[in-house]
Amino acid sequence: MKEYSNYSLLNHNTFGMDVKAKRYVEYDSEEELKELIHTLDGDVLHIGGGSNLLFKGDYAGTILHSAIKGVEIAEEVEGEDEVLVRVGAGEVWDDFVGWAVAQGLGGVENLSLIPGEVGASAVQNIGAYGVEAKDVIVLVEAIELASGQKRIFGNLECDYAYRQSIFKNQLKGKYAITYVTYRLQKTPVLKLEYGNIKAVLGDKDNLTIKDVRQAIIDIRNAKLPDPKVQGNAGSFFMNPVVSREKFLALQKEYPQMPFYEVANGVKIPAGWMIDQCGWKGKSLGRAGVHDKQALVLVNLGGASSDEIVTLCETICKDVHEKFGIDIHPEVNFI
Ligand code: EPU
């Protein structure tokens, strides 16, 4: 266990906000977490890689971080194609993806290079290129912070939806995830339908999950800013879902508008709308809109959280005025 007071969070948030936590504790096991919860008082925030957070100032409570490690094949049924892999919440997500691909196990290759840690993958229901974490999560092990009791959530109990889970809603702040078990395939079925994956892969025969991982890495590197170079939290906004009627009316006005049919309506890419509002590559103060993907807000260097929030609010207002659609941040404001 590592514990610090008045601790700089600069290396724990990818937006690069130079703020401090009153107390910061990193634990290595469920046992340590159970011991430590007795010492908690005041506000508590559990973070992963800090890649989806915007700190609006110093944090006056305790920040918890899991260093629970380990990637183990939990179950491999003879004759079955599935393998269950149990991963510690503190593992770096992309290290796990790299491991799976190296083992020839399919299911998570489309989620290559997503920043963050395994515990957060189950909270955020991370998703990209036609795959979401919920498609491969079987079990989530967690400790209730109030009681220290362990609970195992089955996939359905996690209430997964687009970028949503029970851990972000009804149980927000109540549980710390310790392990996630994923279902992977020994004979991978490639998922190449989203956007330009096929174009990037070209005409190569006998494609493997290694090729898919590399294509996704290339696409992401070309479109998304590297937080080590320019502070950002990936997509700043969620893609809104509108009714079919609203979509059809908009489509008449904007025939080139990209869209995805979903169960409860039609999803419109917020990045496209922000781009149409002329915001791509523009800035307000030291907060900017990425020049290759308008869904991503960037810290141009020393931006204050107020500057990021002002840019966010201005963009939301402009999108509302032009399209009559409310967009909402995916990033959590702390
Ligand atoms: N588009 C533009 N201009 C832009 C950005 C996008 O015209 O500046 C258009 C694109 O041409 C495309 C459509 O909008 O037709 C969708 O763009 P893209 O494929 O880049 O995906 P997205 O909907 O903007 C989502 C996820 C990303 C994920 C990609 C790929 C959300 C909030 N974001 O972005 O996730 O990588 O799909 O699956 O759902 C993240 O969550 O941090 C993240 C990066």
Give the pLDDT band (50/70/90) at residue 80: confident
Q: What is the average pLDDT across 267-282?
A: 98
Pocket probe for ligand 1: among 266, 295, 319, the residue whose CB has the most ligand atoms within 8 Å is 295
- Cα-to-centroid distance, 293 and ligand 1 (Å): 7
Give the pLDDT band (50/70/90) at residue 205: confident
Q: Which two tokens stand for residue 186?
A: 């020994």
- Using the predicted structure, report yes or no on whether residue 208 has a pLDDT greater than 80: yes
Q: What is the average pLDDT across 104-125?
A: 97
Q: What is the DSSP letter of 50?
A: S
Residue 230, phi then psi, degrees to nearest 5:
-140, 115
Give the per-residue pLDDT at 78.
75
Give the per-residue pLDDT at 194.
87
Distances (CA, A) of 265 to 21, 38, 224, 237, 249: 41, 46, 27, 18, 13
Q: What is the pLDDT of residues 298-308, one digit of tens each?
A: 999 999 999 99
Q: What is the pLDDT of residues 243-258, one digit of tens each?
A: 999 999 999 999 999 9
Give the per-residue pLDDT at 79.
79
**Nearest ligand 1 atom, CA 258:** 15
The mean predicted confidence, pLDDT, of the chain is 96
Q: What is the dihedral of CA 39, 171, 149, 74, to 10 degrees?
A: -120
Pocket probe for ligand 1: among 15, 164, 272, the residue whose CB has the most ligand atoms within 8 Å is 272
pTM above 0.85, yes or no: yes
- Flag the least confident range among 84-88, 201-205, 328-332: 201-205
Give the Cβ contact number of residue 326 at 10 Å.
11
Q: Which two tokens stand for residue 218?
A: 């290339």
- Cα-to-centroid distance, 141 and ligand 1 (Å): 31
Give the pLDDT band (50/70/90) at residue 172: very high
Q: What is the DSSP string of 288-324?
A: EE-SS-TTEEEE-SS--HHHHHHHHHHHHHHHHHHHS
Q: What is the pLDDT of residues 9-66, one digit of tens each?
A: 999 999 999 999 999 999 999 999 999 999 998 999 999 999 999 999 999 999 999 9
Q: Which two tokens stand for residue 243?
A: 């009714």
Q: Which long-range contacts (CB under 8 A, 24 or more apart) does 76-83 make?
A: 81/185, 81/186, 81/187, 82/183, 82/184, 82/185, 82/186, 83/183, 83/184, 83/185, 83/186
Q: How far apart (Å, rounded) are the C-alpha atoms in residues 219 and 207?
A: 17
